[in-house]
Structures are given as C-alpha cells and as structure tokens.
Structure 1
Amino acid sequence: MFDSFIQLVREIYHTEEFIPLHEPRFVGNEKQYLLDVVDSTYVSSVGPYVDQFEAKIAEYCGVKRAVATVNGTAALHMALLLAGVKPGEQVITQAVSFVATANAITYCGAEPVFVDVECNRLGLSPLALGEFLAEFAEFRDGAVWNKLNGKRIAACLPMHTFGHPCDIEAILQICDLYQLPVIEDAAEALGSTWHGKHCGSFGLLGALSFNGNKIITTGGGGMILTNDEKLAQQAKHLTTTAKIAHPWQFIHDQLGFNYRLPNLNAALGLAQLEQLPAFLENKRALAQRYINWARQKHVEILVEPFGAHSNYWLNALLFKDKVECDLFLGASNHNGIMTRPLWELLCNLPMYKHCQTDGLQNSHAVVARLVNIPSSVVQ
C-alpha cells in the first residue's frame, strides 16, 4: 500500500524531487500586478488593489462586505471582538483545528470551550453542541451563562476543516435558540459551499485566510466577511488603528489594531483570485484520483459531505490505528513526499489544558488516525 501511494503521488506531480504538502501556484498576473504596485509606490495598507481585492472577494463569496486583514488570525480576532466577545467570557469551538482558532479567542481575553466534531467532516457537531448547551447553558439577565463556572457564553466559532463545510445551518439553528452569534472560521474553505452558499457567509461574521499554503495566497493575509454594513465599517476602522480620516492629523478615537492588508499583498491576492475557478477544478480532479486509490486499497478517505461542494484544500486519509498511521507517515516522508498528522488537539496544548470540554470522543479518535497528503494544484 505504501509503495503504491508513493508511486501515485509521483505520477500525479511528475517529479522525483521532494513533494510538499501544499505549495502556491503563480501562473497568472501575479508578477504584472506586483510590478504595478512597486511602480506606484503604494506598497503599504493604502492602494487600489486592497479595495479591488475586498470587492471581488465579497462578490465571490456572496456577502455585502469583505474587509482585508494582515492574516487570518487577525480576521478571527477582529470578528470575535465585533461580535461582542469580552474578557472573562467563553466561546464554544472545536479542538480539531489549527491553534489560531483558540488563540483568537484568547486575544479577546476570553477562553475557548471545546465541543466534539462530526467524524465524517471534522467540523463542530450540532448534536454535541446541542447536548452541551442543554446541560450547561442557562438564560440570565438577557444572556447565556455557563452553569458550571458562572461565565457568560458569548459566541460559537465552528471551523470548516480542510475545506469541508461543517453542518453550519444546523449549528445556526441551535445557536439562534440560545441567542449566540456565530463566527465562521472559514480559513481553509474559500470556494467551498454548503447547499450552494459559500462558507463564511452564513454567520454574523466569517474569516478567511490567504496564508502561503491556502488555495489562493497573498503571502500572508486574511479577510472578514459580513452582511452587516455597520460591522464592516467598524472592522475597517478598528483594523486601521481606529484612525479618524483627516488630511494631516493623527487622531484615534479608540483602541485600534494595525491589521490592514498591504496593497502589495492584495495585488498578489487579486491575481490569485482570477485563477480560483481553475484551481478548484484542478483540486477536485486530484481528490478524485486519491479517492479512487483509497477505495482500491480499502483505506478510508475524507470526502465532501452530501449537500456540500468542497474545495478539497487538504486531502486526508484515515488509517485503522495509530500504528498504521505512523508507518505511513514514516514511509512517505522518508521517500520525499510530505505528509503530516492532524494537529495536536487544542485541549492538549499547555495553554488550553484547563479549558472545559465535552469529552471529545470523536476528536480523540480521529487525531490518532488521520494523515494529510500532498494537495497542491497539479501543474
């Protein structure tokens, strides 16, 4: 099985050299737009490419406004602040995620509560969420409070893991019952849809990432998505150090953040966005080759849920146990093919070990079995 996988990947990428997990592809107008920015001298956080990139992302994702940020973590942090998360409060999220999800909560002075995921998509489980809230949530003074520790539950932050949409509509229904705002961590899910609607466009706010390993990249960058014009205006203001517009004076009316995306990065992102439809088609064809191989070898592979159209950002195999998983990781990496295990569960990291969980049965089961495999756009 290991040898056939190595042979398959080398056939797909047509090389005997090292094959990374996910590398960017620059085959469009990237150089032209970057040179245009350099010639204009508007390389920082003011410039036409920032405005164009925001407008094009908003149009593509089907939201009224998009506000660019310096990275995806900044987008999450700002979205949580705009949703009203305050120090000493709690935000429900999942332990199966990149550390930025929990870090953004902590930047607000709040703490994460980790609830289990669904096995077939690795997104927050509506069943687990409903059970947790039924056991621990109580309404008091117009808000939801945690009966275990007396802290206010301020929001819910589900993630669309590896580009596969979580059951966001079911999550929204549950959160509506408890009057909890939903912020979507769609960092990995640009181009993914659930019942025809783009990930990141369902909740009060959503966050995208354009890191170097994402489906399109700005080098480093993120985006806040929302249909609330007032929240979008606040996002723009706060991410620009809360500076009041003036021809020459520097007046800031509240604590702000230097979170704006430079024009240079936005130019790269705009050129990448032009290629996104082709990238998506390419990655779905790649995923199908992996799916066909996995079925032949009787290996479980993560596929898009019924009703979803996934971007297949990172393909994932699920082995029968940790032993087989480790053998596969060793064989593939030893042969110059980068594979990696699932992130360490966030509840196991030293700064989050104290956080409340619901037991995370599915999360603990999957972390020992999952391996991500090379998923770059095939040239």
Structure 2
Amino acid sequence: MNKFQETIRFVRESFNTSKFIPLHEPRFRGNEKKYLNDTIDSTFVSSVGAYVDKFEEMMQQITATSKAVAVVNGTSGIQVALRLVGVKAGDEVLTQALTFVATANAIAYNAAHPVFLDVDRDTMGLSPTAVSNFLEEFGELREDGCYNKRTGNRIAACLPMHTFGFPVRIDELVVVCKKWGIPLVEDAAESLGSEFHGKPTGSFGDIGVFSFNGNKIATCGGGGAIVSSSLSLGEKAKYLTTTAKKPHPFEYYHDELGYNFRMPNLNAALACAQLEQLDCFLSEKRKLAEEYDHFFKAQDIKFRTERPNTKANYWLMCVELEDRMERDSFLKETNDSKVMTRPIWQLLYKLPMYKSCIRDEQQNAEFLEERIVNIPSSVK
C-alpha cells in the first residue's frame, strides 16, 4: 500500500466512514434548531432582532474588540472595511496573491487596485519583509499619505489574510504599516479562534473581518462580522452596512451612500448557537491536527502546524507535497477514492481580471501553490 493509500485509509478510519468524506462540513449539535424556532416565533426574521444583537456582543467578546458588526458575508465586510479606512477609487491596496479571490474582489469593489506581494513560506500569509521591501523601493511619504512613486497612486491600505487560520506575522506588519502611515485591515475570514501571542486575530489592525460561510469553523450559512478596537470605526461600519439611514421614528433619510449588507436575524440565531460551541470545535480540531501530524510524520509527508507563540484554529488542515507532480497524484488518488482534497488557490495574478496588477517575484507563493493540499478537516 503506497503512502497515498495509507492516507486514505487513515482518513476513513479517523472519520469512521466508508462514504464520501467532504473537506469541511458544519456540525449542528447545539441550540441551532431552538434559536431558529425562537426567531420564527418572534417574526423578526430579517435584519433586526435579538440574535443579531447577541451575535455582535459575542463576537466583540471573542475578538476582544470594542465593536462588532454583523454583515451578510465576509467579502462585503472587507469591502466596507476598506472604505472605512479611506480606500478610494484609483488607490492601491497591498495584499497577497495566495488567497481566496474574495480578498482581491473586495479591493476591486472599491475601484482600487490590488498590489500582490509575496507570502512567508511558513505562515502562507503576507510577508512583512515583502511589504517592507516593496515600500522601501516604491513608497513615498507625502503630507496626505503614502504613495507609489512609480505609479503616482496612493497606497491606501494593507490587507493580509490569515491563511487557513494560521496567523501571519501580524505584529511585524503593524510596525511596517505604522512606519509608512498605511491603515491595516485584517482578512480574518478563516481565522476565528486563532491567536497571535495570546491575542485574537482580527484585533491587531484598524479593522478585522470574519466569515461565517457554510464551510467555516462556525457557520450561519452565509454571514460575516466586522470588528474594530476603534469604537468610532465600528459604529460607522454599522451605519454604512444598514443603508446609512439616519435614526427617525418614521422618516426615511439616508445622508450618504450605504449598503444593504445586514445579517438577517435567522442567520444570526444560527451563528449564536455555533459560537456557543466554538471552544469545543477548536479543541476537537486541534485533536485531529495532532492525529494528522503524528500520522504524516510516519509517512514522510509534511503536515502544516502552527508556529511558536501562535494558536491556529486549524480551519482547513493541509499537507505540503514534494512538487506539483506529487501534489497532482495525491489529489487524483484521494478524490478518486471519495476523500475530498483540494489544492491551495491559484495565484490571483494568474486570473484574467488581475493579470495586469503590480506584483513582486512571488517566489514563496509559487512554491506553495505547487505543493499545498487541503485535507478533510471537519469537526468529528
């Protein structure tokens, strides 16, 4: 039996099934049905309701921030977060090409331009060294901010993503961004429950954004949250995502362009029930990660683990293969056996809509693109 067949056998034994094993499926074993029935009975199934308020309070506590805002999904949350820190049409936003397409899409929704910089090989997230090198070569501080002296465009934000829940070197990114006067927005979509030096991801930047999509560690079908340690930014996020409507007993008045990005109370009810189980989910996923790590060491396959002084939520667990050929063989053999595996994303500058974007050499990103594969990661 080759090592790929051994992997298939181990995964099947681990999840105790001979049926199809998905990459990540939700677990509903708490108060989900009770809270959904409560919401239906209350008739408050849209964007106003007790569970929306409760969800925001829970996220504020989990992320140790001053304000949390429920939104319809993580992508919309990033779109609004970038606007809140001042991103405007024609600006540039420093980010990574090794990420889900939503990261760059949120930049484009603001008519801004992604600048793709390399990742660190160990975190798989935006490299502070790559950001610093780019700014030292092309950055220029002016009275009204940092500019790219080659393009003349303002560099309006930095948007790192905590890949698969593994925290980036966020402390170093904060230092670089402060030096150059660039706001920092964390794409924490995948990292709910992850920590860097004991502090929750999403709480380091000016704003952080989380996703509650159906495949996330805690889900409400579709949903997201904007969090900030700045109460004023958080309150403005709430205002903009609720159509920028001025409070009034009966009149409709909107004084700027807002968004109908509100999370319905139905989704929030589901999210609250999931967040009540978050600690349990995290514990069980860490146990699975330990089992994988032990198994793959015997197979001479590299299983990705958290770095020192970080706590990963192990949302999607992954292995690093020798090269693209071995990666493709692994993908084919596992999927043919109905054990779902997936490669890491194709680098975004290879997509037609982003092929003309500025980028650096991407040596680490290209290395990882050819080798990283996600494996079944559900809570058992």
TM-score tier by shorter-chain length is over 0.9
Partner residue in 2 for 1:212: 214
Partner residue in 2 for 1:200: 202
1:180 aligns with 2:175: no
Distance apart, 1:24 and its partner CA: 0.3
Identity of aligned residues (%): 53
Superposed, 1:238-277 pairs within 5 Å as 238-277=240-279
- Where 1:216 maps in the other structure, the secondary structure is coil
Contact 1:75 1:222 in 2 (8 A): yes
Contact 1:217 1:268 in 2 (8 A): yes
Decide which of 124, 139, 142 is 2:141's aligned counterpart: 139
Partner residue in 1 for 2:309: 307
1:329 aligns with 2:325: no
Contact 2:67 2:235 in 1 (8 A): no
Distance apart, 1:248 and its partner CA: 1.8
- 1-side partners of 2:328 and 2:26: how far apart? 27
- 1-side partners of 2:184 and 2:284: how far apart? 31
Decide which of 154, 178, 182 is 1:152's aligned counterpart: 154
Distance apart, 1:247 and its partner CA: 2.0
1:78 aligns with 2:55: no
Residue-pair matches, total: 378
- 1-side partners of 2:65 and 2:235: how far apart? 14
- 1-side partners of 2:174 and 2:349: how far apart? 24
Contact 1:121 1:302 in 2 (8 A): no
User: 1:327-357 CA distances to partner (integer Å, 9 max, x unpaired)?
Assistant: 0000000001000001111111110001000
Partner residue in 2 for 1:375: 377
- 1-side partners of 2:98 and 2:303: how far apart? 17
Scaled by the length of structure 1, the TM-score of the pair is 0.99
Letter in 2 for 1:48: A
1:339 aligns with 2:346: no
**Alignment gaps of 5+ in structure 2:** none
Letter in 2 for 1:192: S
Distance apart, 1:11 and its partner CA: 0.7
Distance apart, 1:246 and its partner CA: 1.6
Superposed, 1:39-58 pairs within 5 Å as 39-58=41-60
**Alignment gaps of 5+ in structure 1:** none
Decide which of 344, 351, 354 is 2:353's aligned counterpart: 351
Distance apart, 1:140 and its partner CA: 2.1
1:171 aligns with 2:183: no
Root-mean-square deviation (CA), in Å?
Answer: 0.7
Scaled by the length of structure 2, the TM-score of the pair is 0.99
- 1-side partners of 2:142 and 2:199: how far apart? 34
Distance apart, 1:300 and its partner CA: 1.3
Contact 1:71 1:221 in 2 (8 A): yes
List, as ranges, runs of 4+ consecutive aligned residues in structure 1 with deviation greater than 3 Å: none
